[in-house]
Amino acid sequence: MSTPEITLEDVTAAARRLIEQQIVGVLTTVDPDHVPHSRWMLGAMGDAGLSPLLSLSARGARKLDHLDTNPNVCWLFSDEKDEEVVTLIGTMVRLESPNMAEPAWQGLNKAAEKYSMNVLSEPENLWFEGLETTITQVEYMAPGKGLTHPVVFKL
């Protein structure tokens, strides 16, 4: 049995759906010593396509230091049963104003309940930075649907 052809439009739709449903994914940054660091992070899609992926960070978070030296990042989102997985690779920059990441604010309360309230207990972290990821590559797998090898698109 052959696997049906999966298009970039299919993968884009799946990625947008997973991000909108799950809100929180895994973001990996790389520190100045080239060591990767992963953390749960909320993400929100812009109006169309895969870019930009918007997010918010407390100002005191170490990921911001990582981005100053290496803007390359990797995001991973999956459904609750890990039957569909999307990996987004790109570059992340700080926005001039956290208001520029408006779609990410919508998911903040839901995500903050589990993932970010601990860092917000420190006064220097009470301010947010808006972050924007420009996606340069997307990988999609759906092991729960028989697609066990990633479908990769460079953008």
Cα-atom radius of gyration of the chain, to the nearest Å? Answer: 16
Q: How far apart are CA 30 and CA 37, in angstroms?
A: 6
What mean pLDDT do residues 120-124 have?
56
Domain annotation covers residue 111: yes
Spatial neighbors of 141 by CB under 8 A, at least 6 apart, are 84, 85, 86, 147, 148, 149, 150, 151
60-112 confidence digits (pLDDT tens): 889 999 999 999 999 999 999 999 999 999 999 999 876 777 777 766 656 55
Q: Is residue 3 part of a domain?
A: no
Domain boundaries, position 15: 8-154
Rounded (5°) CA angle 4-9-11: 70
Interior angle at CA 52, CA 50 and CA 54, nearest 5? 115
User: What's the predicted TM-score (pTM) here?
Assistant: 0.86
Q: How far apart are the first and last CA of the chain?
A: 29
Is 87 domain-assigned?
yes
From CA 15, how far away is CA 149, in angstroms rounded? 16
- Average of per-residue pLDDT values in the chain: 86
Confidence of residue 18 (pLDDT cuts 50, 70, 90): very high
Number of domains the chain is built from: 1
Looking up residue 25, the CATH number of its domain turns out to be: 2.30.110.10
